């Protein structure tokens, strides 16, 4: 009976693995809004237990949905951005980021204005990822038919005309060898009705994202404001300004009122700056800019500029004419004069506060929405509070430390922090491009040098342009020097593969490195390292892996070992689970290191193929432009499957010798499957 059950299970498994999965069914429609304006509607019905991802899911996790509107130039213009229905926020403990997902259904809309009256259709290319126990890299091309467009320039509203179409799910089957592909196709049309509930605009989606992060922005900004208080441009102003209000206001009550109004004026000025930034760029634009390669590089340059100022290379100052105008206004009596006194403080202290304000606005840009306003409120509140509190309790001023060289030490320390933060933005750009210019080892080395130099400075062994001669260091400076030194030493083991959980999310991930398991490994130094074949790389747990099929097969022939073919993805959650929880087990790891040749093919690799290697699928018309496209197409055409992870054992000639398996979290089951494939190879 057990044998019958096992045979049935194997038969079902083979049948399931032979299917091309597509848990997302689409229905498209076109709504005519006016003579030449249309709304393109894409409705997705998602199978139970599956989910797909929002366009706005944060970097570092699964891949977002991406919409590309073909041949727009000269034919039509996009009106606003693609909007989507409400998503759900879920924390991914593998990638350690929040992800925005859709379950059951999702709706995407895009308004377009047609500029070519002869245009008959609009094509939209959609790329998305769907996940359950396996992750699937999917894409579709939708064709939206347009009714005849009148040449009259009238833009009169018309009744909504809906042209419904049903997407074609193209299932590719295969007869293939390793050198030539023959593709046939089978069209499977299905119409899915999707109700339209809880549809939100892009702005509403962004507002939801803002709410989740506004507190963190506020706290970060408040701490930034407190740091600005301890700079030589602001700190000396506290006793001077409070004394002025308490002694020249006629009465203590009037002095307290003036100081409170002064503090409120500071908050109003900086909040207005946040409003100005949001108004100029827009709430949506800030978030979009934060994920752009170009603007991450610009943010990097800006922060390097700010850091140089803090370190003493130059001072950032506003025009003297502006300062003189505001200073004259501040001499007036009454609340108007007090407001201009607050503005004068903001202008005079700009050389110290400017870099901090700029950094806060850059960080707020990564959150989008009203984050710049909230950030400026937190920053200004931290600066305004001392003026208010010392006006209420003037005796507290006696406890303030005297101004001195320690203020410049604070300023320089902020410069080192700005410098370290700058490289995070450069790292973001590098990760998006997958350029591997700033891999984990390089990033950590930069941070070790920055924080190590900061420690040397705090110990008084290094002086900068605005420093006073150091005859001794204070106890507070000593403790800060020790703390920075400890952090620097903590970073060093990261070069040898330590996870560095305290700074998780700042450096690139372990897999994004020259040698994922550290500089000190005997086999971790590159292609010339002992035991690392030509074209091979170190994969998870220092397993030797190939990322090109032909190169891996050639090596397998050379050493006479079977092949473990691994279809995977950089943003595949369950691929990482398999690697971390199954491949890491000693009994499995020993097999992967010693008994098979691992070929890992990444279906979401966005690097472009050489022009000579690009091709178009003869049946589907899909353009194969990237390395990921190539391996995804190879998996579909050879195995009629598009899910990841997907494993199969091949002989050293590249022929299948085992049934394929997908996500298999049971260690014993996966080990047994591997051993059966190896046993078949030996036979």
Residue with tokens 């903590």: 490
Per-residue pLDDT of 207-253, as tens digits, reads 444 454 567 778 878 887 777 777 766 766 676 676 666 666 667 77
Pair of tokens at residue 254 = 């009037």
Residue 244: its pLDDT value, please? Answer: 67
Q: Does pLDDT of 617 surpass 80?
A: no
150-174: average pLDDT: 45
Task: Summarize pLDDT for 648-657 with one digit per residue, the tens.
Answer: 999 998 999 9
Task: Name the percent of the chain lying above pLDDT 90.
Answer: 22
Quick one: pLDDT at residue 451?
95
Q: Are 46 and 105 in contact (CB under 8 A)?
A: yes
Q: Which residue has the higher pLDDT, 526 or 298?
A: 298
Most confident listed range (7-21, 490-504, 611-625): 490-504
CB atoms within 10 A of CB 12: 10
pLDDT at 209: 41
256 versus 473: the higher-pLDDT residue is: 473
- Which is more confident, 32 or 149? 32
Q: For residue 597, which of 545, 526, 648 has the smallest C-alpha distance?
A: 545
Spell out a b/e string for 457-468, using b for 16 or more CB atoms within 10 Å of the CB, else e.
bbbbeeeeeeee
Residue found under tokens 């209000």: 245
Contact (Cβ atoms closer than 8 angstroms) between residue 225 and residue 378: yes
Question: Is a pLDDT exceeding 90 seen at residue 152?
Answer: no
Q: Which run of H or of E encompasses 43? A: strand 37-46
Q: How far is CA 563 from each of CA 30, 544, 672, rounded to the nearest angstrom?
A: 49, 12, 16
Q: Encoding tokens for residue 376?
A: 């400026």
Given pLDDT bands bounded at 50, 70 and 90, which one contains residue 124? very high
Beta pairing class for 537-538 and 544-546: antiparallel
| Separation between Cα atoms, residue 239 and residue 237, nearest integer Å | 6
The mean pLDDT of 547-562, rounded to a whole number, is 93
Rounded Cα–Cα distance for residues 430 and 655 (Å): 37
Backbone φ and ψ for 69, nearest 5 degrees, come out as: -100, 115
Q: Locate 306 and state its tokens.
A: 């700010």
Nearest residue to 417 (alpha-carbon basis) of 451, 445, 444: 451
End-to-end CA gap in the chain = 28
pLDDT at 440: 85
Helix (H) / strand (E) element for 338: namely helix 334-348
**What does the DSSP 8-state code read for residue 399?**
G
Mean pLDDT throughout 588-600? 94
Check pLDDT > 80 for residue 168. Answer: no
What is the three-class DSSP state of 677? helix
Q: What is the pLDDT of residue 278?
A: 62
Q: Smallest Cα–Cα separation from 539: which of 628, 451, 469, 599?
A: 599
Q: 367-420: per-residue pLDDT in tens?
A: 556 777 787 888 888 888 887 787 777 666 666 666 666 778 888 888 898 898
For residue 646, pLDDT over 80 is answered with yes
pLDDT of residue 106: 94
Cα separation of 80 and 98, whole Å? 26
Short-list 73, 78, 151, 148, CA closest to 108? 78
Compute φ and ψ for 66, nearest 5 degrees. -130, 135
Tokens, residue 288: 């979009």
| Cα angle 421, 425, 431; round to 5 | 130
HEC states along 183-229? EEEEEEECCCCCCCCCECCHHHHHHHHHHHHHHHHHHHHHHHHHHHH
The whole-angstrom separation of Cα 683 and Cα 680 is: 5
* Each residue's pLDDT tens digit, 101-116: 999 999 999 999 998 8
Per cent of the chain over pLDDT 70 is 70
| Sequence-distant (≥ 6) Cβ neighbours of residue 479 within 8 angstroms | none
d(CA 108, CA 87): 12
For residue 426 the two structure tokens come to 């450069």
Radius of gyration for the alpha carbons in the chain, expressed in angstroms and rounded: 31
The pLDDT confidence band at residue 677, using thresholds 50, 70 and 90, is very high
Beta partners for residue 126, in sequence order: 67, 140
DSSP percent split of the chain into helix, strand, coil, nearest 5: 45, 20, 30
Rounded Cα distance between 207 and 373, Å, is 13
Domains by residue range for the chain, with CATH: 21-190 (2.60.40.1250), 213-300+322-400 (no CATH), 537-682 (3.40.30.10)
What are the start-end ranges of the H helices in 393-532? Answer: 405-433, 440-458, 475-491
**Predicted pLDDT at 331:** 58
Q: How far apart are CA 134 and CA 643, in angstroms?
A: 6
User: Residue 154 pLDDT more than 60?
Assistant: no
Joined tokens for residue 125: 């290319």
Candidate from 3-7, 216-220, 303-307, 615-619 with smallest mean pLDDT = 3-7
Q: Which is nearest to 288 in space by CA: 356, 376, 205, 359?
A: 205
pLDDT of 582 > 60? The answer is: yes
Minimum mean pLDDT range among 39-53, 135-149, 394-408: 394-408
Q: Distance between CA 472 and CA 475 in Å, rounded?
A: 10
Mean pLDDT, the chain, whole residue set: 76
Q: Exposed, middle or buried by CB within 10 Å (0-12, 13-18, 19+), for 129?
A: buried
Of residues 602 and 168, the one with the higher pLDDT is: 602
- Residue 636: name the closest of 610, 658, 617 by CA: 617
Give the residue among 357, 325, 366 at the shortest CA–CA distance from 344: 325
What's the confidence (pLDDT) of residue 505? 58
How confident is residue 122, by pLDDT bands cut at 50, 70 and 90?
very high
């Amino acid at each position: 009976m057990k044998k019958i059950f096992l045979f049935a299970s194997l038969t079902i498994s083979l049948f399931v693995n032979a299917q091309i999965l597509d848990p997302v069914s689409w229905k498209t429609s076109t709504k005519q809004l006016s003579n030449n304006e249309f709304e393109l509607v894409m409705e997705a019905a998602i199978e139970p237990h599956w989910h797909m991802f929002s366009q706005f899911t944060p970097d570092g996790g699964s891949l977002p949905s991406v919409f590309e509107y073909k041949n727009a130039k000269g034919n039509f213009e996009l009106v606003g951005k693609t909007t989507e229905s409400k998503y759900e926020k879920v924390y991914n403990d593998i990638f350690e980021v929040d992800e925005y997902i859709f379950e059951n259904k999702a709706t995407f809309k895009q308004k377009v204005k047609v500029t070519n009256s002869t245009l008959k259709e609009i094509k939209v290319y959609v790329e998305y990822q769907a996940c359950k126990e396996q992750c699937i890299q999917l894409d579709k091309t939708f064709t939206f038919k347009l009714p005849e467009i009148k040449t009259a320039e009238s833009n009169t509203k018309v009744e909504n005309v809906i042209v419904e179409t049903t997407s074609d799910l193209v299932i590719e089957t295969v007869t293939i060898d390793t050198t030539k592909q023959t593709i046939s196709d089978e069209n499977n049309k299905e119409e899915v009705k999707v109700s339209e509930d809880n549809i939100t605009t892009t702005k509403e989606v962004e507002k939801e994202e803002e709410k989740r992060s506004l507190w963190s922005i506020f706290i970060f900004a408040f701490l930034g404001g407190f740091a600005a208080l301890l700079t030589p441009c602001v700190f000396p102003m506290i006793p001077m300004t409070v004394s002025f209000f308490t002694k020249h206001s006629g009465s203590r009550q009037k002095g307290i009122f003036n100081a409170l109004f002064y503090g409120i004026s500071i908050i109003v000025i900086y909040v207005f700056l946040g409003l100005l930034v949001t108004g100029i760029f827009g709430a949506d634009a800030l978030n979009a800019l934060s994920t752009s390669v170009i603007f991450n590089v610009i943010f990097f340059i800006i922060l390097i500029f700010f850091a140089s100022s803090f370190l003493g290379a130059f001072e950032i100052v506003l025009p003297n004419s502006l300062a003189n105008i505001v200073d004259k206004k501040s001499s007036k009596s009454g609340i108007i004069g007090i407001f201009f006194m607050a503005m004068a403080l903001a202008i005079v202290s700009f050389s110290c506060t400017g870099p901090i304000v700029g950094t806060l606005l850059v960080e707020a840009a990564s959150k989008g929405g009203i984050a710049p306003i909230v950030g400026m409120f937190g920053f200004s509140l931290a600066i305004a509070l001392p003026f208010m509190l010392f006006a209420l309790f003037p005796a507290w001023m006696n406890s303030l430390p005297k101004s001195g060289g320690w203020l410049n030490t604070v300023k320089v320390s902020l410069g080192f922090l700005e410098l370290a933060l700058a490289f995070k933005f450069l790292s973001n750009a590098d990760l998006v491009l997958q350029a591997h210019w700033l891999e984990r080892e390089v990033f950590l080395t930069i941070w070790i040098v920055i924080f190590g130099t900061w420690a040397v400075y705090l110990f008084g062994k290094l002086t900068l342009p605005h420093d006073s001669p150091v005859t001794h260091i204070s106890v507070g400076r000593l403790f800060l020097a020790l703390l920075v030194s400890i952090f620097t030493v903590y970073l060093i083991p990261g070069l040898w593969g330590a996870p560095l959980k305290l700074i998780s999310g700042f450096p690139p991930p372990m897999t994004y490195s020259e040698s994922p398991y550290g500089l000190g490994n005997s086999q971790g130094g590159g292609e010339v390292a002992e035991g690392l074949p030509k074209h091979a790389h170190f994969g998870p747990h220092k397993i030797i892996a190939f990322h090109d099929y032909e190169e891996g097969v050639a090596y397998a022939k050379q050493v006479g070992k079977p092949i473990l073919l691994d279809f995977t993805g950089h943003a595949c959650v369950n691929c990482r689970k398999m690697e971390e929880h199954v491949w890491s087990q000693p009994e499995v790891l020993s097999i992967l290191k010693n008994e098979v040749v691992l070929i890992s093919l990444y279906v979401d690799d966005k690097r472009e193929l050489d022009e000579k290697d690009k091709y178009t699928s003869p049946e589907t018309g899909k353009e194969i432009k990237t390395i990921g496209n190539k391996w995804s197409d190879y998996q579909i055409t050879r195995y009629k499957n598009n899910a990841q992870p997907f494993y199969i054992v091949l002989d050293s000639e590249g022929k299948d010798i085992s049934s394929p398996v997908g996500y298999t979290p049971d260690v014993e089951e996966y080990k047994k499957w591997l051993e059966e494939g190896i046993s078949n190879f030996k036979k």
